[in-house]
Amino acid sequence: IGHSGRTVVNGNVYQKRGGSEFHNYPFQPFCPLPLPENCGTYDCPERGLQDLLASLKAGDFLYNQYYDSWGIAAKAKGSNDGKSFTPKLNSNGDWVDSFTNGGAARVFDTMQPYYSTNLAGMFRQPLCYDVRFDNDRNGDPDLGSPNNQCPGGGPGKSKSSDPILSGYEHCEAQGNVLVIQEYNNACPDDTGSGGYITVAFKDPVDITSVAMVDIDEDTVNKIKFIYASGNPKTEDTDETGDNGLWKKSFDEKNVKAIEVYYPGSGSLSGINYIPRVCEPFPNPPPPPTPTMSPTTSPAPTGCADPMAATLTDTTGTALPQGSNPIIVKGTGKNDESVLFDVVQDISGSTIPHIGLSYRDDYSGNIVCDTITDVTAGSTSSYKAGCVGGIAQVDLYVYTGSDFDGEGCAVCSLPTPASSDFRMYEFEIPCDLDCSQPTDSPTSSPTKNPTSGPTSSPTKNPTSGPTTSPT
């Protein structure tokens, strides 16, 4: 069985002699594998991002806290993240600063989109009450669902200058949706400056539909499907008008993540998908109370003395004497990840292609990155997740000029074999002692003398008279 987990055994494995050991890894190949003919097809029930959102409440931030239990994680990045927390208005009167609380998307309740005495009490959002102004500004009516012109009405409203376009009528209640929070405020609301929302799946899924509310005039959002093969595909949405509902069916197989780009305001109201691994949805624990100021994650621990990773196997030409292409720089939180650099000390010439295979710290999946035109002495930094206290990193080095691989082909053995190819497998222990040295000099004078009088006269006279007799 390959130590990298690339071999799967259909049956039982018996160890009947000493001198070997088994290592168990989650089977998450970075390339999609064909199903054997006798495996049939999977038959999992359809699920939705909205199933998880329904268990949360307005104002919650969604990141990766349910990645293990629900198999879904979310990230958000606003166009103005980190630039300012001072509210600003654009020409349309929308707030344009964003606040993602460390990269999280925020939950918005479309049934309670804003607070106003002009709005029916059942539709008012308590988090948006502000004694300073009692009007429609605090919150967002164009994210309300359904639209108020639908049979039976609803809290959603469109601007007269940007009505809902034909075919995007919004009469289907959307419940909780995800937004990029506009700025550091208790009231959930979407930023007017746009950004990205990414939803990642623990195991690849088949996407059947995507829905969004409020794709404003003269703008379209972009959906990027990121497949297990690593090759993405991007599609444009349609313009819906203010408070319009865009929903489209898809048949995208083996998707690891969906990234939505918003040029302006808007929300992600649903992703329907069919899992390829059938597991029941859990009963999630109560969501954490959102903080209304940025939180700081524990910083990675830097190693006092960076160390070389352990080379465990080689295919092709051996590493040059003294070469250490993988240098460990530190460990992540709870020793669950390692920080390392890829140093091009393999050749004095530029290497056309280097493939790098490692376990992604965020998703837990094996990923394949490509570094091209790698000059001698150049350095690239990475972070790898750990399994069983070990992080495995594989380098695929292509020194020839005719390599035409892409995607998964970069991190695999070439067929047929090539003299221009080398592969190096490394292991990094994740329980490194990365404490900083304690005997470094102090940064300022000590408060009290650090030693007593000398035991004998000094060799030379002092530079001036002493203040008292000696």
What value, to the nearest 5°, has the Cα angle with vertex 62 and ends 292 and 110?
A: 85
What value, to the nearest 5°, has the Cα angle with vertex 119 and ends 115 and 121?
A: 80
Higher-pLDDT residue of 355 and 207 is: 207
DSSP-derived 3-state class of residue 1 = coil
**Residue 109's pLDDT is what?**
92
DSSP-derived 3-state class of residue 409 = helix
Q: Tell me: the pLDDT tens digits for 291-330? A: 444 444 444 455 656 788 889 888 888 888 878 888 888 7
Q: Which residues of 405-420 are buried (b: 16+ CB within 10 A; e: fewer)?
A: eeebbbbbebeeeeeb
Residues 6+ apart with CB under 8 A from 414: 398, 405, 421
Q: What is the DSSP letter of 95?
A: B
**Residue 259's pLDDT is what?**
94
Beta-carbon count within 10 A of 337 CB = 22
Report the candidate in 68, 75, 89, 71 with the shortest Cα–Cα distance to residue 268.
75
Q: What is the DSSP letter of 234?
A: E
**Residue 175's pLDDT is what?**
92
Instruction: Note the Cα 135 to chain centre separation in Å.
Output: 37
Average pLDDT over residues 399-413: 70
Q: What is the DSSP letter of 190?
A: B
**C-alpha–C-alpha distance, residues 188 and 311, integer Å:** 50
Average pLDDT over residues 426-443: 62
User: Per DSSP, which regions of 193-240 are E strands?
Assistant: 195-215, 222-227, 233-236
Contact between 328 and 303 under an 8 Å Cβ cutoff? The reply is yes
Which DSSP string corresponds to 126-142?
A: GGG--TT--STTSB-GG
Long-range contacts of 372-378 (CB under 8 A, 24+ apart): 374/344, 374/350, 375/344, 375/350, 376/344, 376/345, 376/347, 376/348, 376/349, 376/350, 377/343, 377/344, 377/345, 378/343, 378/344
pLDDT > 80? residue 159: yes
DSSP-derived 3-state class of residue 331 = strand
For the chain, how far is it from start to end, CA to CA, in angstroms?
A: 80
**C-alpha–C-alpha distance, residues 163 and 179, integer Å:** 21
Q: What is the DSSP letter of 144?
A: -
Written as one letter, the residue type at 178 is L
pLDDT > 70? residue 123: yes
Average pLDDT over residues 254-269: 92
Q: Tell me: the pLDDT tens digits for 66-121? A: 998 899 999 998 876 544 334 444 455 444 456 777 788 999 999 888 876 666 56
Which DSSP string corresponds to 6-67?
A: ----SS-----SSS----------SS--PPPGGG----PPPEEHHHHHHTS-TT-EESSTTH
Mean pLDDT of the chain: 76
Average pLDDT over residues 377-387: 86
Contact between 109 and 130 under an 8 Å Cβ cutoff? The reply is no
Q: Tell me: the pLDDT tens digits for 32-69? A: 555 444 343 456 888 999 999 999 999 999 999 999 88
- As a dihedral over the C-alpha atoms of residue 128, residue 131, residue 136, residue 142, rounded to 10 degrees, the angle is -10
**C-alpha–C-alpha distance, residues 369 and 411, integer Å:** 8
96 burial (CB, 10 Å; 0-12 / 13-18 / 19+) is buried
Higher-pLDDT residue of 10 and 263 is: 263
**C-alpha–C-alpha distance, residues 175 and 50, integer Å:** 8
